[in-house]
Amino acid sequence: MQLASRSALAAALVIVTATAACGGDSTAPVAKVNLALHFDSLFVAAKSISASDTNFNFRANALSDLELPAAFGVTPASISMTTASGTESWKGFVFEEVLTNNGTPQDSGRLFIAYRDTDAHTLIETVVLADGSLVASSLMANDTVVVNASSSSGTITQTGTGASCDTPPTGLTNPVITTAAQATCVKATYSAALTLTFPATSGVDPALTQLSFPLTSFAGERFQDPIGGSPSRISGAWQRARVNRNRAVRAR
């Protein structure tokens, strides 16, 4: 998964998204398979609507980011999310992408993505640089309203790596899964804690103006690009945040 340019990566790398090539058990637990299929169906629906309503583009891409870790065998972590109105139970993933140059690791980034409800009508994404810096955080509410964080702080660190990832279940139609299968994927563990502030926005639950959670453990994945690279989910998420920020500035 290669960023638009290696120089751009060096200046500011991005997310942790999933790409995978995998050994491991070919039969993932039923719950994981069902979750991957669920996210796949949500992606297909959003992608179809986005053909006539571009407001659904962000949702379609974010659902791909959710589907990837589930497809390669990760169970989402339970997150005790503190909002402006109280504490809620969210679910989320962390995964890493390692970029290579002729097979040699050159840089990496991580992505945190969490969803509020089963169908992910509300979710957040945070892009993290190789040095741990938070590059961008976006909130998507009610499928189509996207808001960039006005402030963010926290940490997302890798605490270990393990065996090869699971093989994705059959029946997934998202082309991202085929692309992801070109990379080398191993299971990994992460520790994360975030505090995010979002501006009050029409059509968005006021509770979402303040979001934070304490240090939480995540089972995730680490994906290393194949020689020659492949499209970067990390770069894509970072770019979406930048595009939305530019639109917000022009709208003022």
pLDDT at 67 over 80: yes
Rounded distance between C-alpha atoms, residue 219 and residue 12, angstroms: 25
**pLDDT attached to residue 21:** 34
Distances (CA, A) of 167 to 140, 145, 201: 29, 34, 41
Quote the DSSP letter at residue 2. Answer: B
Tokens 């509300």 belong to residue: 122
pLDDT at 25 over 50: no
Tell me the mean pLDDT in the region 100-116: 79
Which structure tokens are listed for 227? 């020689």
* DSSP characters over 194-242: EEEE----TTS-GGGGEEEEEEEEEEEEEEEPPTT--B-HHHHHHHHHH
Which of 181, 169, 187 lies closest to 226 in space, CA to CA? Answer: 181
Tell me the mean pLDDT in the region 213-226: 92
Which one has a higher pLDDT value, 241 or 32?
Answer: 32
pLDDT bracket for residue 121 (50, 70, 90) = very high
Tell me the mean pLDDT in the region 192-207: 97
**pLDDT attached to residue 250:** 41
What pTM value is reported for the model?
A: 0.81
Tell me the mean pLDDT in the region 56-80: 96
Residues 242-251: tens digit of each pLDDT: 555 544 434 4
Tell me the mean pLDDT in the region 60-82: 96
Give the domain ranges of the chain: 6-251
pLDDT bracket for residue 194 (50, 70, 90) = very high
